[in-house]
């Protein structure tokens, strides 16, 4: 029995910046992202005005998760190099860090791990902009954060029930809410004017075969999500490995050796993950 | 490559990742061997931790890790693809621990 009105939930989620529990900086960022006319200059100014935010963005860009060999020392340089959409995503990623940690212990680690694997896989597949896929890996579970801040007591119960029911968090959400974090994430990604590719990956990261415009990218994030959970890095809401999407598996076509290499490389890129966002 | 707080550093340890100061300038290169002097300098500069060469400490034994993998994959029983991924992960864990020996 769905215990919640989907339209009401959507309204709540889309107006998350009005919640009393949201920190002031994040409110500003969410308001800013909602504005569809953000330009490269505007976003550089916005980030540069806030030294803490600047530091967080630079730390993230220079981290092994993105694999930039050189050190990027200014926000301007970062924006030019990565493009508006990646910076928008990163701005959100680093700013929801605290919220993510409060909402669900381990979700930040899960997201970072997924981002690191997505980055490695995107490069392996020769994609032109691996950073776009990396940011999608970082934000794929943003819907969980929104559920956790908008319906905290209920969401906590859902997480707690997964072990008892033998459900993944996705199944638990579908059963109780009649909607899941992937859909919730897509609501907000649309509201925040994220590019279609990112919206699609967030929406279909559990059903990669449904992604139309960014199918390979979506398959990459899906497989990264499964592999990072299989490895047991971070916590994504339950203790099970969700079933891998056959289409994604076939589409990416990794050998056993590839996967082992990927996991070892990821290990190295996440050794100093603790400093990210902190 | 363990990450060690500056308080826990001892002379003779070798730096495995460059150390930067707050302006992003490299103050210690990879492969630098630490001395009392260098450690004191790091403390004065309020550097919190550095990466040094050597064994990484795992928080769990290999057997615990493998057991947890089995649990996580409980739902994938009898699904060949999931069984396959489980085996790869277990072999990966074996490899990680073997490297550290």
pLDDT tens by residue, A56-95:
888 888 877 887 755 788 888 888 888 888 888 888 888 8
More confident call, A68 vs A168 = A168
CATH of the domain at A68: 1.10.3210.10
Residue A267 domain boundaries? 6-275
What ipTM was reported for this prediction? Answer: 0.84
Q: Which CATH class is domain B3-51?
A: alpha beta
Residue A165 lies in a domain: yes
Q: How many CB atoms lie within 10 A of CB B83?
A: 13
- A267: closest chain B residue by CA: B96
Mean predicted lDDT score pLDDT of chain B: 85
Those residues with Cβ within 8 angstroms of residue B47's Cβ, 6 or more apart along the chain or in another chain: B6, B19, B21
Confidence class of residue A278 from pLDDT cuts 50, 70 and 90? very low
- Best residue in A271, A273, A275 for a mutation probing chain B (most B CBs within 10 Å): A271
A208: contact with B, CB 8 A cutoff: no
CA angle A80–A83–A85, rounded 5-degree value: 150
Per the model's pLDDT, the better-predicted residue between A18 and A203 turns out to be: A203
Taking an 8 Å cut-off on Cβ atoms, the answer to whether A241 and B73 are in contact is: yes
Within an 8 Å CB–CB cutoff, is residue A107 touching chain B? no
Q: Rounded to the nearest 5 degrees, what angle is found at the Cα of A225, between the Cα atoms of A221 and A229?
A: 165
A114 is a domain residue: yes
Taking residues B17-42, report their average pLDDT.
Answer: 85
Smallest Cβ distance to B72: which of A232, A259, A272?
A232
The domain spans of chain B are 3-51, 62-99
Note whether A230 contacts B74, CB cutoff 8 Å.
Answer: no
Q: Do A241 and B72 touch (CB under 8 A)?
A: yes
Closest by CA to A169, choosing from A231, A244, A240, is: A240
Q: What angle do CA A109, A203, A185 make, to 5 degrees?
A: 60
Nearest 5°: the CA angle A184, A65, A155 is 25
Judge whether residue B13 has pLDDT over 80. yes
pLDDT top residue among B39 and A220:
A220
Q: How many structural domains compose chain A?
A: 1
Please answer yes or no on whether A241 and B75 come within 8 Å at the CB atom.
Answer: yes
Question: Phi, psi (5° rounding) for residue A67?
Answer: 65, 30
Rounded Cα–Cα distance for residues A236 and A115 (Å): 14
Average pLDDT in chain A: 88
Look at residue A61 and tell me if it is in a domain: yes
Q: Please check whether residue A1 lies inside any domain of the structure.
A: no
Which has more confidence, B25 or A111? A111
The angle, 0 to 180 degrees and rounded to 10, between the axes of the packed helices A51-62 and A75-82 is: 50
Of all residues in chain B, the one with the smallest CA distance to A235 is: B72
B54: left (phi over 0), alpha (psi -120 to 50) or beta: left
């Amino acid at each position: 029995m769905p215990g919640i009105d989907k339209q009401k939930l959507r309204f709540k989620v889309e107006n998350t910046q009005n919640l009393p529990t949201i920190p002031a900086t994040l409110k500003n960022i969410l308001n800013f992202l909602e504005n569809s006319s953000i330009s490269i200059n505007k976003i550089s100014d916005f980030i540069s005005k806030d030294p803490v935010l600047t530091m967080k963005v630079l730390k993230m860009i220079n981290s092994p998760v993105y694999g930039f060999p050189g050190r990027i020392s200014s926000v301007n340089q970062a924006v030019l190099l990565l493009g508006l959409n990646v910076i928008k995503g990163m701005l959100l990623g680093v700013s929801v860090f605290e919220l993510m940690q409060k909402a669900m212990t381990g979700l930040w680690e899960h997201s970072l791990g997924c981002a690191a694997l997505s980055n490695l896989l995107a490069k392996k597949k020769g994609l032109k902009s691996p950073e776009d896929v990396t940011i999608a890996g970082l934000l794929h579970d943003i819907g969980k954060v929104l559920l956790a801040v908008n319906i905290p007591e209920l969401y906590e119960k859902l997480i707690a029930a997964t072990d008892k029911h033998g459900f993944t968090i996705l199944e638990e959400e579908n059963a109780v809410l009649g909607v899941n974090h992937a859909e919730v994430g897509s609501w907000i990604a649309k509201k925040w004017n994220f590019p279609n590719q990112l919206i699609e990956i967030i929406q279909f990261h559990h059903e990669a075969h449904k992604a139309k415009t960014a199918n390979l990218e979506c398959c990459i994030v899906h497989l990264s999500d499964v592999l990072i959970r299989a490895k047991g890095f971070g916590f994504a809401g339950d203790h099970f490995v969700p079933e891998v999407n056959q289409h994604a598996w076939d589409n990416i076509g990794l050998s056993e050796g590839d996967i082992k290499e990927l996991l070892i490389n990821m290990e190295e890129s996440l050794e100093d993950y603790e400093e990210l966002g902190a | 490559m363990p990450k060690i707080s500056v308080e826990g550093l001892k002379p003779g340890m070798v730096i495995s990742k460059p150390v930067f100061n707050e302006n992003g300038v490299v103050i210690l290169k990879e492969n630098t061997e630490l001395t009392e002097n260098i450690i004191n300098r790091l403390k004065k500069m309020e550097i919190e931790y550095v990466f040094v060469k050597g064994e990484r400490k795992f928080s769990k034994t290999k057997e615990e890790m493998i057991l947890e993998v089995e649990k996580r994959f409980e739902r994938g029983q009898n699904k060949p693809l999931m069984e396959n991924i489980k085996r790869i992960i277990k072999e990966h864990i074996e490899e990680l621990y073997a490297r550290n020996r």
